[in-house]
Chains A and B, each alone.
Chain A
Amino acid sequence: MNLAQLGFISFGGAFLTYLLGKVSSKLRDAFAVFISLILIIPILYFYGKTEELTYFSFLGLPLLLRINPLSWIFAIAIQTITSLSVIFSLSYMKGRERLDFYYLMLLLVNAGMLGIVLSADLVSFYIFWEIMSWSTFLLISYNKGPALQAGMKYIIMSIIGSVAMLIGILSLYANCGSLDITLVSSFITQASSGYTLFILISFCIAFGIKNAIAPFHTWLPDAHSEAPSPFSAVLSGILIKMGTYGFILFMYAIAGLNLFLNIGGGSFHYLFCVLAVITIIVPTFIAVLQDDAKRLLAWSSIAQVGYIILGITIGTSLGFVGGVFHFFNHAAFKSLLFLSIGAVEYRTGTRDLNSLGGLIKRMPITFTCALIGALGLIGVPSTNGFVSKWLIYKTLILGKHPFLAFIALFGTWGTILYSYKLIHNIFLGQLPEKFSNVQKSPVTMRIPVIFLSLVVVVFGILPGIPLKVIDTISTSFGFQPQNVEIWGIASETGILNMVNIFAAICVALIIAWLLFFIGDKKVNISQDNSYAAGAHVPRDKYHHTVEFYNPLSAMIRPYFRDFVDDFYQWLANGVKNVSDKTRKIYCGDLGYYITYIVLFFAVLIILKMGLKLW
């Protein structure tokens, strides 16, 4: 097995799925699941290996693939999330039209992402990047209607990013003569700092747009909420993290740790930290104001990306480990949440937080999994989100950045607000009459969410498993190694022992349960049988979940709007108006056109005479 074969299987499998779809839809479904699952095996086989090979030669440029620990952790995350998404699609997409096309695009996105993390030169990187971007565009606009708008917004921003990246690549080729990443890296370390900054900025625009950090985030809320739910999971879980991969590649693998931290006297990396905290705090509160479950999660994705970028760009060993680990964790719990919401949407036909409620009685497994996902998102101890956030906070506090740490920590409380709103408005509260016959989700929808919940909990209690891999990555970039143990992390400035904490939680739960148990027997009563100070609480007459945070939202709504999006809209409208005005010249009247021609000649004659009429 080598990397070229891996790439060939992933692309070939995608097209074969499409062809099989023409024969039989059952065969296509089975093959799509098979190909996405079978690809996990070669990726697992490459664990801990470093390999490189030339798969093609293009105009004298060798196109290279290579795998190292950094590519590996991204590749395994990509392949796991995609296969779960394909499994989930089986029942979610059942009966929809153009399914061959859907699976083709989903597997192409997967292949493109694998290509990005495995490519070792910038030409392949760019080609795979474009394959991923365009297939994503087609998938986002799969549902037509508002989805077309969302897809258009996405692809316009994506093209801007691609152009910026292309400028960087061409400039590197002109100056360096090679696009092999190792050669580019050694060239960059000797180049002038102005040129390095130019290259970094042109690539960071592309990665920033894909990663949706402020102010390039505006495509994400629309795209995430309009895409089909299984693809939203891929989109939020890993696709936007390709930007993160690009950041790590350019900041640490190409520019290198010392260079990156010292460009502009350290202001460049600090700029990223500031952008990251803005990306944390504003989207968090915008998410609190949302009423569409998937839109809420989309804004939350932007906020969580802020934590990842903050960890990566702070430039310390702990921060880097925390940032990469948070990428991994976010992939798990955000995909989990998107898939759970997808299951709810599949059964109830809506994702409007104001009309759902009480589904815990009908979909208990989906509720449990969604709750675990939400706890991971908040970062409750004994979920994986806690460990990565702990690492990031700790490095911020000990590195004397209390303001950055404050905003990051305060973002957590915003996260609680919207996570609870999500769980409460969908699963708790009153069950509306129209949903009283909702069935539990099909088994192909349950398998992915249960698997992801296990990931969230297991990596929360035994964080050492992924942290060991991440530690190898960070040491390969010149960070000092961390003392990673299976139960957590032991540094000289403080120990984090998740097994201890988990044991304490278990013991406390048992004590509390025993206290609960010694009381007299309880009687189970229905939800309608509740106390309302002598009045009867009518069923379905009003809904407790509508305007859940009304006192707060009334206060913050004027300040937490997407002003960046408003600005882009204003810009787009301005361009449109100017174009409209320009178009008026072409009025279609021959007389005007003749006048234009005569005027044009007149101007030419005047210029010829050298403006010496008199």
Chain B
Amino acid sequence: MVIKVLEIIVSPILAFIVGVFFLGLFRKITARLHWRYGPPIIQPVLDLIKLFHQQGFSHGPVFDLGIILALAGSIILVLFIPFGGICPLSNSGGLLVILYIMLFAPLGIALSGGEGANPNISIGVSRKLILALGYEVSFLLVLLTLMTYYNTISIVDIVENQRNFQWALFSPLALSGIAYFLILPAMLGIRPFDVAGAPQEISSGPAVEYGGRHLGLFHIWHAFSLFIYIALFVDLFLGGGSNPLTFFIKMLVVFILLTFIHGVFPRFRIEQAIKYLWKWPVIISLLGLILVMIIR
């Protein structure tokens, strides 16, 4: 019981540290790829301290509640996702619950933005939801392939099944792994899929009205979502990790690969993004599912 409570406290803190570290690293690597020097890795922490000391503006109660809901959704998700053996809420409903709690964040941001009544927000939210519709096709196919292959809906069981280097990425599930990696940039909202929060085009979309602590919470949420989607990839395809350190190293490798993609690609338009997302990842993940249906 004590260990459980300790895990509940520790895992969001770990996720926060990793996420914020990734934010800093992200800016640094992107800058180096662009032949710039870039800010120090600790910059996001300094930003957060600054933002929490600035005066914020609010457009109403839902404007505040939405961003709180989005952050809360991310914190709950961390409790459901195994982090190298730490998983406080492992037996409360499994992957299906994770899938549904993932809705909290986009819904929260969308509700909060809606109250902001800024045209840029409306465009950004609309794009975000459409983009989600785009990647959700392959994401669901990938998750269903995994659940069918291992015949369980529990993420802990899926990780257990991949012990001793029986990684899903090097099994008949390889195609699903590739599809997941292809949609990962869209899930994280990084280039070439940063249509929803495009800074030059629609002034960062949903975040345009945020300032002060709203923006601070938005950054924390972003850090958490970086952690969640990459951790999910590591859990589902790279066999999780026997302790938090190996898990972190696996995450780091995936993250750096993603940053390289972000660094060199320009941005898709939203229609192009949908067309891409509904073509290659869907074909690959569908093939993966059919393969699993045949061999099982």
| A residues neighboring B (CB under 8 Å) | 358, 360-361, 371, 375, 378-381, 386, 390, 393-394, 397-398, 400, 402-403, 405-406, 409-410, 413-414, 416-417, 420, 423-424, 427-431, 493-497, 500-501, 504-505, 507-509, 511-513, 515-516, 518-527, 529-533, 537, 542, 544-545, 548-552, 554-555
A-B contact pairs, 17 of them (CB 8 A): A380-B100, A400-B148, A417-B129, A420-B107, A427-B114, A428-B111, A494-B91, A495-B91, A501-B93, A511-B75, A519-B56, A527-B59, A527-B116, A530-B209, A531-B209, A549-B126, A551-B270
The smallest C-beta distance from B112 to any residue of chain A, in angstroms, reads: 9
The smallest C-beta distance from A85 to any residue of chain B, in angstroms, reads: 28
A-side contacts of B216, CB under 8 Å: 515, 519
B-side contacts of A402, CB under 8 Å: 144-145, 147-148, 289, 293
Which one of B27-35, B37-45, B64-72, B245-253 is at the interface?
B64-72
Question: Contact between A515 and B71 (Cβ–Cβ < 8 Å)?
Answer: yes
B-side contacts of A555, CB under 8 Å: 271, 274
B-side contacts of A403, CB under 8 Å: 289
The smallest C-beta distance from B198 to any residue of chain A, in angstroms, reads: 12
Question: Contact between B144 and A406 (Cβ–Cβ < 8 Å)?
Answer: yes
Question: Contact between B75 and A413 (Cβ–Cβ < 8 Å)?
Answer: no
Which one of B131-139, B234-242, B259-267 is at the interface?
B131-139
Question: Contact between B89 and A504 (Cβ–Cβ < 8 Å)?
Answer: yes
A-side contacts of B89, CB under 8 Å: 500-501, 504
5 more contacts with CB within 8 A, not counting A371-B111, A397-B144, are A380-B103, A413-B132, A428-B111, A516-B68, A516-B217
B-side contacts of A554, CB under 8 Å: 271
Question: B96 is contacted by which of A394, A410, A511 (Cβ under 8 Å)?
Answer: A394
A513-B107 contact given A397-B144, A420-B129, A500-B92, CB 8 Å threshold: no
A508-B75 contact given A428-B114, A522-B57, A523-B56, CB 8 Å threshold: yes
B-side contacts of A515, CB under 8 Å: 71, 213, 216-217, 220
A-contact 0/1 string along B101-113, CB 8 Å cutoff? 1011011001100
A-side contacts of B97, CB under 8 Å: 381, 390, 496, 501
Q: Does any Cβ of A come within 8 Å of B54's Cβ?
A: yes
Question: Contact between A423 and B127 (Cβ–Cβ < 8 Å)?
Answer: no
Question: Contact between B59 and A525 (Cβ–Cβ < 8 Å)?
Answer: yes
Question: Contact between B209 and A516 (Cβ–Cβ < 8 Å)?
Answer: no
Question: Contact between B119 and A406 (Cβ–Cβ < 8 Å)?
Answer: no
Q: How many A-B residue pairs have CB under 8 A?
A: 232
Question: Contact between B133 and A414 (Cβ–Cβ < 8 Å)?
Answer: yes
CB-CB contacts below 8 Å: B154-182 with A: 154
B-side contacts of A381, CB under 8 Å: 97, 100-101
Complex alpha-carbon distance, A379 and B67, angstroms: 20
Interface majority SS (helix, strand, loop, mixed), chain A: helix
Interface majority SS (helix, strand, loop, mixed), chain B: helix
Count how many chain B residues have C-beta atoms less than 8 Å from C-beta atoms of the other chain.
Answer: 83
A394-B203 contact given A512-B75, A520-B53, A545-B122, CB 8 Å threshold: no
A-contact 0/1 string along B46-77, CB 8 Å cutoff? 00000111111111101010011101110110
Q: Does any Cβ of A come within 8 Å of B208's Cβ?
A: yes
The smallest C-beta distance from A514 to any residue of chain B, in angstroms, reads: 10
Q: Does any Cβ of A come within 8 Å of B243's Cβ?
A: no
Question: Contact between A551 and B140 (Cβ–Cβ < 8 Å)?
Answer: no
Question: Contact between A519 and B213 (Cβ–Cβ < 8 Å)?
Answer: yes
A-contact 0/1 string along B202-227, CB 8 Å cutoff? 01000011001110110010000000
Instruction: Give the 8 A-B CB pairs with smallest separation, nearest first.
Output: A519-B213, A428-B114, A544-B122, A508-B72, A508-B75, A512-B71, A527-B117, A522-B56
The smallest C-beta distance from B115 to any residue of chain A, in angstroms, reads: 5
Complex alpha-carbon distance, A414 and B134, angstroms: 11
A513-B68 contact given A360-B62, A523-B56, CB 8 Å threshold: yes
A520-B93 contact given A552-B133, A555-B271, CB 8 Å threshold: no
Residue of B nearest to A380 (CB): B103
Question: Contact between A520 and B72 (Cβ–Cβ < 8 Å)?
Answer: no
